[in-house]
Chains A and B, each alone.
Chain A
């Protein structure tokens, strides 16, 4: 850290903001640090969106990530973030944590390093609730292999940045499933909910009680103050600032050319079925060009999915490369106990690779929609023992 602890930070608390306003405010507060000389060392904005907003990552194809008809039907606002990563749903039960400052005010060399450093107070706040969260590769916080928060960073050309965390205090999984395009469209509703619940967790679920967002917000602000040894001065958004933010929302975040911008990389999806000694292994994959967006490994016989969750999370946003997939799968198998699992890492590697091959072979995503994890394309392949 390279902070002068005599310089206080600003604290902004907001609730039920719209998608456009919420995203524009993150950008606005970042821009206030472009000149490096502001009254505060940083601005910590702890806020919630109105129920519900679906936000895609900076370079995602919105048509591939969201069911826009469902969004309209469910009155879910949509938006495009400045930060990268995948689509998320935000609302009154998800806490947005936006730390805006200038990169020279922190001692860091790599973004991974900065993310790990800035997420420490979030981990500490969760620990106060008895939740042992850890920072994992690809910038997520996890608890027992399940994602509890997504992290992202945007750095502007002047070196001002914001670090954003979307913390799941609670989550309405069925509502999320209505609007996000996830690679299990052919599952029953119950299976979909179970599948998500095996991979994602929330503060309330881990704490074993309904934890109010306000309680989490209070802990987060206390932990940031103590970890960075700074005073937080709460200062509401002024009328002038609100005008700036609303103008930015209008000029960028509400614009169709921002929301619906096209990606030169094709979005593709595929699925494979493999018979293994343990049962039928179903593997779904989502690709963006030569990058893996998501992997989902399922099977009715799988009781403990932590092993597979780890493989899935480590492959997310990694290059589509068989050797690299194999390396991840073998490493996860070697580091985790799986005494009764009658599946070997070769089976899993081959299943993922086969799903990827099918994704490439299948018709690519079109705006008319098509081919999301088509079951019919996944012929069962017998594994030779």
Chain B
């Protein structure tokens, strides 16, 4: 875990910057969760719903939805695959997405179906991840998009 400005960032993971997730790859399974930058700028999550477990989705398709500050938006697949597990704890306590985004606030596990061609679209590598977050966090801070601590 690396402290980049005020956020703690894991630089050893993959990031889908457009969809706003981190991906922890183990074999053919990706455990995914909300990027700290997304959860910090979205506000407190009050509801999470998943589409049916066991369903397959292409990259970019909705696999669930969330509510924060009266905004309802979709969770979009960062990579193609089958949802093999969802975190029941975040259904009961969506706040875990904010308080422990890399730990107990993980969202789902995906059995990857197109990893070889999709991994190149993801952000990875310690230096690249660090540089990307530094730039983005600075931009978010300048614009006042991050909640004051």
Q: Which of A78-86, A127-135, A196-204, A334-342 contacts B (4 or more CB under 8 A)?
A: A78-86
Say whether, besides A84-B47, A263-B47, A289-B92, A57 and B70 are in contact (CB < 8 Å): yes
Q: Does A13 contact B (CB under 8 A)?
A: no
Contacts of B143 in A (CB 8 A): 109, 113
Closest Cβ of chain A to B53, distance in Å, is 14
Q: Which of A82, A83, A112, A289 contacts B93 (CB 8 A)?
A: A289
- Cα distance, A150 to B62, chains bound together (Å): 27
Interface mask (B83-109 → A, CB under 8 Å = 1, otherwise 0): 000000001111100110000000000
- Is A264 within 8 A of B145, CB to CB? no
Interface mask (A109-124 → B, CB under 8 Å = 1, otherwise 0): 1111101000000000
Closest Cβ of chain A to B7, distance in Å, is 15
Interface mask (A83-114 → B, CB under 8 Å = 1, otherwise 0): 11100000000000000000000000111110
- Cα distance, A317 to B42, chains bound together (Å): 13
Q: Does A265 contact B (CB under 8 A)?
A: yes
- Cα distance, A111 to B60, chains bound together (Å): 19
Contacts of B74 in A (CB 8 A): 155-157
Q: Is the interface of B mostly helix, strand, loop or mixed?
A: mixed
Contacts of A264 in B (CB 8 A): 91-92
Q: Does B10 contact A (CB under 8 A)?
A: no
Q: Does B73 contact A (CB under 8 A)?
A: yes
Closest A residue by C-beta to B47:
A59
- Is B46 within 8 A of A112, CB to CB? no
Q: Which of A58, A109, A115, A318 contacts B72 (CB 8 A)?
A: A58
- Is A111 within 8 A of B69, CB to CB? yes
- Cα distance, A139 to B67, chains bound together (Å): 13
Q: Which of A58, A138, A155, A263 contacts B69 (CB 8 A)?
A: A138
- Is A110 within 8 A of B70, CB to CB? no
Which of B65, B67, B91, B95 gathers most chain A CB within 10 Å? B67
Contacts of A153 in B (CB 8 A): 70-73
- Is A112 within 8 A of B43, CB to CB? yes
- Is B49 within 8 A of A59, CB to CB? yes
Q: Which of B62, B71, B98 contacts A152 (CB 8 A)?
A: B71
Closest Cβ of chain A to B75, distance in Å, is 9
List B residues 89-138 near A (Cβ within 8 Å): 91-95, 98-99
List A residues 218-264 near B (Cβ within 8 Å): 263-264
Contacts of B62 in A (CB 8 A): 157
Q: Please give the number of chain B residues whose Cβ is less than 8 angstroms from any Cβ of chain A in the complex.
A: 30
Q: Which of A157, A288, A319 contacts B61 (CB 8 A)?
A: A157
Q: Does A290 contact B (CB under 8 A)?
A: yes
Q: Which of B41, B44, B92, B140 contacts A317 (CB 8 A)?
A: B44
- Cα distance, A291 to B73, chains bound together (Å): 18
- Cα distance, A289 to B45, chains bound together (Å): 12
Q: Which of A58, A110, A288, A318 contacts B42 (CB 8 A)?
A: A110
Closest Cβ of chain A to B116, distance in Å, is 25
Q: Does A151 contact B (CB under 8 A)?
A: yes
Chain A interface (Cβ < 8 Å from any Cβ of B) = 57-59, 82-85, 109-113, 115, 138-139, 150-157, 263-265, 288-291, 317-319
